[in-house]
Chains A and B, each alone.
Chain A
């Protein structure tokens, strides 16, 4: 019904101005000018525009060179030495990391939202930390922890397990580090899903004699399937694209993955955009199939609509004698994925250079690196710009994607599949290519945003649209249509319904997406580096510069400061989010 080009019909005069057709024209005009139509059309147009600009650039760059149409990029990209190993390594790494992150993230979310597990306050802020630590620091922290040569864990456990028990430079080490780094995405998605789930279904199962595990397997998991599918989809694509972990851990033992190749083809001159594009289009294919499957898993079914007109109040399940076990598991998770790497960073940030802990090392500790941070000329500007961009991106994305999610899940529009697929496209476009595409367009566009923060905002909104969309769609699929129908029957307009009924019900998912985007936009580097201008630096650029300078210990200090800043921000966001969303207790 709705369409992206609302102008044409209004200007066409009716051929025969009879009474009924006039009223039809008037109805059409009313429909076209209704807020609902306008908003939907605008959101659809914006998503299309944001996704198609870089996609067009990528496709054009992949198939056309000076001589015209060519498949050269594909043959160069997919005929390299050892492409078979490359594909199997990439897939094992991606699927392994996604699976690990899924298990950890879902388990934690379930315990946190649905049970009376101990240490809850600790949970939220702390579970965000792997997400906040820049990938390069997180990975190097793990080298210091689990390298067979210098790893602290290996040294500590050597008397029990023998030398070099943990080896981070294997595919399993890579999966562990990447999975740990990704698990917060799943955690956030799943927290939202569990929050919106009516626990009476589980209670019925328990009352009918099912064990807790059976209930979880047969009732809980099927109910949150849309969220699980979304999480798997995002994580597989993300780990296929991940760069730091394969570059720092895989290469040492010659484990090559896709992104190592994208790196090689993009750094050459003249840039081999065609090969990079061919690899990215391979990822796009995976993603398109994934979105399709995800929709089949979540759409046209009322099975997942757990938020209905019936009131419910999520009540935590009492774990009973399992409570200490769950508590211990959580403590272990934190020790391993949060505390250990963070301690290594904190330790490194107080040294002049990294060395194994010893009395001498502790004696040499200073706060010089932190002092150096305050001397960085652009630190203040960068922090301010990152805050503006992070908050702006998170707000814009979640607002638009909540409307887009409504179109995709609720409307009967034929455009809905297209919008869903388009919103996912940016996930597979390498950041550098996005940067190239945007500078290409806005250097030639009459809109003077090249060289301003606004071009970075567009880049960030484009990059994080897919995540926002998954968060919003997943939540939308859980909300029953009958709530909107009731509102409309009671005389509310579409916009009133959306604002007063849908948005509050979506709140857990929207807050989760908001926080995720806020955090990751602090880290965005690959498109920012090409698009920023003097005076418009962002934090990730400073991180990159400290890294290039060889100031690893200063970088660690910067990482610690970022973690603290974002923990505060995330806590505030949750406090605000708790006010609008469903109460968890």
Chain B
């Protein structure tokens, strides 16, 4: 590149004086053979390759809709984490004894740092003038080993995953909870609670929490319906005590933890409703 001393510019600009310029890039006449103009000849062919590639890519997109699992639940302790496939080799590395527990630094920083550091600095490590693979046995050997290790680790990791079991995490397989609309308390629920706590007691973002995970018994529910709790004002329920009883039973009976709907209609579960703990799980 021509720079520094001897450069002339037009006026006070950075535009070089045309008469001075001799920075035309070297052409490829130094390579023997049939060259082709990039514009427009070669670009036209690239365009075709790109179009074919795009069709293939869109076929993939159409055939395999991108997966979506159920909404993140930090309390879901049964979930088995799995990174995206191109991180699996790093993930699998941590399962080796020498790269886990007390030695986890070797697996997280040591080996990957060494490998990717060497990759980054390859031109300064492999300094010989020869470009042919046969002239660089060490560099190529290391790279081959790295590639084989990466592919192998990914393969081992992928085969260890129970993909069928992971299917259940998909949003398509989320168990949609539905309340029993035949329950005697349903009318009271739909008139008094549904607008905030949702159609199926699943809660409404910003309005009311889900009632499905609540552990309250019937009396606690009755108390809250009358007196409120947290942000929930008092007297949300306006009706007779009899209706209140039905409503509380409805809420308790329709929680998934209480054995599903229809088990204890009406008075049946009035006194006990399994879990004794109340109030603080909801606020």
- Do A and B truly interact? no
Which residues of B pack against A, CB within 8 Å? Answer: none
Which residues of A pack against B, CB within 8 Å? Answer: none
